[in-house]
Amino acid sequence: MSTLNDIAQFKQVSPMSGILRMERMPHIWCPGCGIGSEVNSFAEAIRRSGIDQDKLTVISGIGCTGRVAGYSNFDSIHTTHGRAIPVATGMHLANPKLKVVVFSGEGDLSGIGGNHLIHAARRNMDMVVICNNNFTYGMTGGQVTPTTPGGAIASTTPYGNYEYPFSLPFLADAAGATYVARWTSVHARNVTQAIEEALARKGFSFIEIISPCTTLYLRRNRLGDGVDWLQYFQENTVIKHGCDTRETAIDYQGKIVIGKFVDKQKPTYLESVDKRYVQVVGDDYQLYGKTVPEREAEEKAEQERIAARRAAALAEPEAGA
């Protein structure tokens, strides 16, 4: 009974109360899984960002990471397999005032939904995509994914993977993403900072988080448990900010290049739409019932409100400190 009381008290005093749905805690992820740490970093980034939670939405696909939408205490959608990004695109275009975040796994985003990933990046759609990469389809049986390292064992490659894996930072960069970063679930503060930076900017942001799947990937490959994998991350990651994303490939049990690789500005999809139609229609052109200057004035006012809320949030003690 004391344990139940401790859990109830934690839910009340947790610094993430209000950002996460504490009534659904404890979460259902496996012991040693990195997604819980990622969600904590995500929640801390939201707290620090100053974004109005009524103007924030999270979309997840199918898979272990898809549970994130259900734990987020703001509008969210747990959509069908591989379709998180097109749903997010629709949300953004229907209401550009929303800050849209996609939080899903590498199988969902780069396998089943890979076509959507490259075209959202190509269009520079204004959204943040957070990709949990654990090298396997964790919820559906441990099949090989587009990022499974060569030689790694999966349920569909019992003698070792013989396919060439994607480097997701390279893929996102080549497709046109304007912010690209990679960290691991052990780099919690860096993950928080990356998400906070992505939330504060315009354009297509892609953050990959390498994470352990203890139940399937580690067990099948006899790589130990979650603690062993976190130690592996500490000993085998190399921070290379701004490095050429062609150098970010991951070999089986090799070194992992992490850092912020891309941070640039270019017109978003809607800004490109505005520019084209102003050229064709003239200054009377309206989108969402307002002219470009009117929408720019509204956006500037909202950014000022966000800055004020962010300053107040940063003045508070860091969650968990």
Please choose, from the candidates 125, 63, 135, 128, the residue with its C-alpha nearest in 3D space to the C-alpha of residue 94.
Answer: 125
Residue 176 φ/ψ region, left for φ over 0, alpha for ψ in the -120 to 50 degree band, beta for the rest: left
- Residue 93: is its pLDDT beyond 90? yes
Query: What pLDDT does 16 receive?
Result: 81
Residues 232 and 158: their CA atoms lie apart, in Å, by 23
- Residue 5: is its pLDDT beyond 90? no
Q: What is the mean pLDDT of residues 67-79?
A: 93
- Residue 83: is its pLDDT beyond 90? yes
Query: What pLDDT does 4 receive?
Result: 58
Residues 300 and 282: their CA atoms lie apart, in Å, by 23
Residues 35 and 47: their CA atoms lie apart, in Å, by 18
- Residue 262: is its pLDDT beyond 80? yes
Task: Grade residue 136 by pLDDT with cuts at 50, 70 and 90.
Answer: very high
What is the phi/psi pair of residue 294, to 5°?
Answer: -65, -45
Q: By three-state DSSP, how is residue 77 classified?
A: strand
The burial of 78, by beta-carbon neighbours within 10 Å (0-12 exposed, 13-18 middle, 19 or more buried), is given as middle
Q: Which has the higher per-residue pLDDT, 24 or 247?
A: 247
Residues 6+ apart with CB under 8 A from 60: 66, 67, 68, 69, 76, 77, 78, 79, 84, 102, 103, 104
Query: What pLDDT does 288 receive?
Result: 86
pTM for this entry: 0.93
Please choose, from the candidates 165, 132, 140, the residue with its C-alpha nearest in 3D space to the C-alpha of residue 60.
Answer: 132
Which position has the token pair 């994998």?
A: 229
Q: What rounded mean pLDDT belongs to the chain? A: 92
Q: By three-state DSSP, how is residue 78 classified?
A: strand
Q: 6-20, 102-116, 273-287: which has the highest mean pLDDT?
A: 102-116
For 163-215, write each residue's pLDDT tens digit: 999 999 999 999 999 999 999 999 999 999 999 999 999 999 999 999 999 99
Task: Give the helix/strand (H/E) hosting 209.
Answer: strand 204-210
